[in-house]
Structures are given as C-alpha cells and as structure tokens.
Amino acid sequence: MNTELLLENLRNIPDFPKPGIQFKDVSTLFKNPACIREMLDELLRLYADKGITKVVGIESRGFVMGAMLAEKLGAGFVMARKPGKLPADTRQATYKKEYGTDSIEIHTDAITPDDVVLIHDDLLATGGSMLAVYNLVQEFGPKQTYVNFLIELKMEGLEGRKFLGEKLDITTLLTLEE
C-alpha cells in the first residue's frame, strides 16, 4: 500500500470540533481517485478471502469505503445509523460518550446467522462507537465478525485497541501518532 500517498492527502484540522482535537478529515482522501483505489486495493487484499457476506458501515464516514468494498467483495451493505433515521424495525445499542450517551441502530432484518460480517468505520479513537456496533452485530448471531478502520489514532489518552480488546479481529490502514 502507498502509505505516503494517503498520508499526504489526509487533511488535519486542529481544534475541530472543539479545542484540543486534531480532526482527521478523510474527505480529502475520498475526493482523490488515486487514494480511493489505494484504500480499496488494500481492503480487498485484507478481506477478499474471508467469505464476507455483509459489510456494516458506521454513519456516516463509514458508508463511503464500506459500500465500495461491499460491491468489490460481492457482499451486501448495511447501514449502522444514528437513532430515528432507519424507517423499519431496528435493534439499538446505547453507549457512553465523553459527555453523555449516544445510540446506534441497525434494521432487524439486515443481518442473519448465515452472515460473515465486516464492520467498517473511518477512524478509531476511543473505540466506544465501534464496540457498541460490534456488540449490536453479535445480537444477530453472525458466523464471524471482522473490524476495519481506515485510520487508528494512537495518542496519549486514546486506548482504542485496548478498549476493543484482543478478541476482536481488527485491521487499520494507517496508524497516526499525532
């Protein structure tokens, strides 16, 4: 994988959405066709032989590469969305955020016990949102569940990998230490 190309094209926005946060803006990767191809090729290398039948993308930046990858894998794509957005029956998980709580939903008919699932999001920070989606996906009883992020933040106070635990099968394309 051409890590340099991806690092050169990832935009950092200091103090967004609040002071002290270094926001990794993946829109500058998504707008560049060479970066899309690079990420997609690497994701295919990682997952083409895993028998994945459903890719679950986490709203909203997880939808972009998640849906493209699903098509390449010949898998279906499932949206994990903020509350109140999905129109049919849903299963819901609530999780703690830095301040207060948040929830995430998946349609009840979106995943079956026959599925092999890959959950995808753009970025791993604390791991809170991914753990909630992972636990929610387990309620559907899939054969196996894989987890992928485009970017892993490894900074002081962020222990996302540890938080998610060693039992999860996680890959990340880029690891950032600042």
CB of 40 to ligand AMP, least distance (A): 19
Residue of 38, 42, 115, 121 that binds ligand AMP (CB under 6 A): 121
Per-residue interface string for the shown chain with ligand AMP, residues 28-67, x marking contact by CB under 6 A: ------------------------------x--x------
The count of residues interacting with ligand AMP (CB under 6 A) is 18
Residues linked to residue 149 through DSSP beta bridges, in sequence order: 121, 172
CA 93 to CA 125: how far, in whole Å? Answer: 19
SS3 39: helix
| CB distance 78 to 54 below 8 Å | yes
DSSP 139: T
Let me know if 57 is exposed, middle or buried by CB neighbors in 10 A (0-12, 13-18, 19+). Answer: buried
Kindly give, in sequence order, each residue whose CB lies less than 8 Å from that of residue 36, ignoring residues fewer than 6 positions away: 29, 30, 65, 68
Kindly give, in sequence order, each residue whose CB lies less than 8 Å from that of residue 74, ignoring residues fewer than 6 positions away: none
Q: Does 122 bind ligand AMP (CB under 6 A)?
A: yes
Q: Does 124 bind ligand AMP (CB under 6 A)?
A: yes
Strands 22-25 and 144-153: unpaired
CB of 82 to ligand AMP, least distance (A): 11
Contacts of ligand AMP in 129-158 (CB under 6 A): 129-130, 153
CB of 74 to ligand AMP, least distance (A): 26
Q: Which residues are catalytic?
A: 61, 98
Residue of 6, 24, 117, 119 that binds ligand AMP (CB under 6 A): 24
Q: Does 120 bind ligand AMP (CB under 6 A)?
A: no
Nearer to ligand AMP by C-beta: 40 or 158? 158
Q: Does 170 bind ligand AMP (CB under 6 A)?
A: no
CA 109 to CA 91: how far, in whole Å? Answer: 9
Q: Which residues of the chain form contacts with ligand AMP (CB under 6 A)?
A: 21-24, 58, 61, 121-130, 153, 160
